[in-house]
Amino acid sequence: MKLKNTLLIALLAVICSANSLATQAKVCMPNDMDAVKPSKHDRTVRFATFNAFLNRNTAGQLITDLQDTSNSQISAVAEIIQRTRPDVLLLNEFDFDENGEAIALFQDNFLSLPQNGQKPIHYPHIYLAPSNTGIPSGLDFDNDGSTSGPGDAFGFGFFPGQFAMVLLSRYPIADRKVRTFQKFLWKDMPGALLPDDAETTEPNDYYSKEELAEFRLSSKSHWDIPIYINKRIVHILAAHPTPPVFDGPEDRNGKRNHDEIRFWADYVKGRYSSRYIVDDHGRRGGLNRWSRFVILGDYNADPNDGDSTNNAITQLLKNPTIDASIAPASLGGFEDAENEGQLNDIHLGNAALDTADFNPANPGNLRVDYVLPSKFGLSPVCGGIFWPTTKDESRYLVGDGFPVVSSDHHLVWLDIIVR
């Protein structure tokens, strides 16, 4: 039976006053976002990730849509950003174009214009780079007898750059120190969970040796983007691992998702764990244990529910170098799970931590988007998920799931003191 709104709020207040048993983290759900807005006079910085659903079915369509300032979906995405006002923001599912025309249009035609009376926001520093999505491999990765489908690209996509990502920042980017790992091969990860063809006696042979010689680990890319904040370097570690579904008993997507997440887990642990890693310019290794970093992105993995392989996201949530002590939450996510029910009713995780509004029949709402700072040099303060309740005046920006008003994901933010 659905809870009345007053009972819902009271119950959630109890839940959010204690540590989450599922995450062993303090649930953080500020009632007033302005009350915890970072002051420009202190060292608190707002980091955010948003799978903004700014992907389109054909190449160039996003650029066309961005030329129309009345586009309701893009306007809703921009208004959410203006309301939450992140200082550093990763956008997942933003189609890539080499000249950066799309992100320039998004800034000029949407973020720089007031959306429903909201204050414009400007990001002077942008990072974008190619994504593996839609880049033809010339190989039959999905074993369907063809080498030209979206499943045969280095990352699933119908055209190069579909479902890509872009970083927006108020702070300068150390451009010459950026590292990308777009071309790192999956087989070069020690102990990789390479999928197996159960019909043969050979292990880990779903992909042929010829295919493994070309198969890239990143379904989009992995980026290490150093930015200068308060005279400190903070590494933004950005990625968007493949969903762990849409495969067969070999679990090729689930295992790839696991190892895409493991990549960052190894990258931040220190020299021994990361010595196998090589970036796109041939530089070896990861971060030292005294580096400041923030992991951002849609990782398509929930710590309690969904279809991830070997509880993949715990590689980050329980990583000794990562501070996962604060878990952003929302009233809207809790209410939505209660109202929609179905698979949400048997989920083990705290619905207040969910970040994506998926089909309630399967998989239900999930926590898949993360802002995770390093233990060294950074101190998380509080955060939230932009998921208004049905009683909130900004509910029109998220709707009831389908059709999608802005995105099926919700912006997740965390205020962090840079020490």
Answer yes or no: is pLDDT of 4 > 60: no
Q: What is the pTM of this model?
A: 0.93
Can you give the three-state secondary structure of the chain, one letter per residue?
CCCCHHHHHHHHHHHHCCECCCCCCEEECCCCHHHHCCCCCCCEEEEEEEEEEECCCCCCHHHHHHCCCCCHHHHHHHHHHHHHCCCEEEEEEECCCCCCHHHHHHHHHHHCCCCCCCCCCCCCEEEECCCCECCECCCCCCCCCCCCCHHHECECCCCCCCCCEEEEECCCECHHHCEECCCCEHHHCCCCCCCCCCCCCCCCCCCCHHHHCCCECCCCCCEEEEEEECCEEEEEEEECCCCCCCCCCCCHHHHHHHHHHHHHHHHCCCHHHHCCCECCCCCECCCCCCCEEEEEEECCCCCCCCCCHHHCCHHHHCCCCECCCEEECCHHHHHHHHHHCHHHHHCCCCHHHCCECCCCCCCCCECCEEEEEECCCEEEEEEEECCCCCCCCCHHHCCCCCCCCCCCECCEEEEEEEC
Per-residue pLDDT, averaged over 206-223, amounts to: 98
Among 77, 82, 80, 84, which residue's Cα sits nearest to residue 36? 84
Answer yes or no: is pLDDT of 262 > 80: yes
Average pLDDT taken over every residue of the chain: 92
Write out pLDDT tens, residues 28-38: 776 555 544 55
Within its chain, how far is the Cα of 311 from the centroid? Answer: 17
Per-residue pLDDT, averaged over 253-269, amounts to: 98
Residue-range domain boundaries for the chain? 5-418
Q: Among residues of the chain, what percentage have pLDDT more than 90?
A: 89
Within its chain, how far is the Cα of 78 from the centroid? Answer: 17
Answer yes or no: is pLDDT of 47 > 60: yes
**pLDDT grade, residue 230 (50/70/90)?**
very high
Per-residue pLDDT, averaged over 40-63, amounts to: 92
Q: Which residue has the higher pLDDT, 102 or 13?
A: 102
Write out pLDDT tens, residues 68-108: 999 999 999 999 999 999 999 999 999 999 999 999 999 99
Task: Classify domain 5-418 at the CATH topology level.
Answer: Deoxyribonuclease I; Chain A (3.60.10)
User: Residue 43 has what pLDDT?
Assistant: 86
